[in-house]
Amino acid sequence: MPYNVRIPAPLRKFTAGVETVSCQAPDLGGMLAELSLRYPELKERLCEPDGRPRRFFNVYVNEEDIRFLGGAQYRFRDADEVLILPSIAGGR
């Protein structure tokens, strides 16, 4: 059940420039663990020290926010396209 995870440009410095990663984990927690094993520097950007997902990034599955698909309970499907998107804050 492989699916692709797209890594945005600001996070690629932690994946040696890799833009797309094929994953097999069934859910969000597993996906984050799988990415963390492959790219240890990415872990602290995506996970709290206890492994929970950080609040400051969003995950989209087939262009839909994972929160509206069941959040951490969403089960990835074959050929899903997943995008990790860091939240960007700013202002004046």
Residue with tokens 């833009």: 19
Average pLDDT over residues 55-77: 93
Question: How many Å apart are CA 90 and CA 92, to the nearest integer?
Answer: 7
Q: What class has domain 3-86?
A: alpha beta
| Percent of the chain whose pLDDT exceeds 70 | 95
Q: What is the pLDDT of residue 31?
A: 94
Bridge partners (DSSP) of residue 28 are none
Q: Can you tell me whether residue 42 is helix, strand or coil?
A: helix
What are the residue boundaries of the structural domains of the chain, listed by start?
A: 3-86
Average pLDDT, rounded, for the chain: 90
Question: How many Å apart are CA 22 and CA 1, to the nearest integer?
Answer: 10
Q: What is the pLDDT of residues 12-42, one digit of tens each?
A: 999 999 999 999 999 999 999 999 999 999 9
Average pLDDT over residues 60-86: 94
Give the ranges where the chain is alpha helix by DSSP (H).
28-38, 40-46
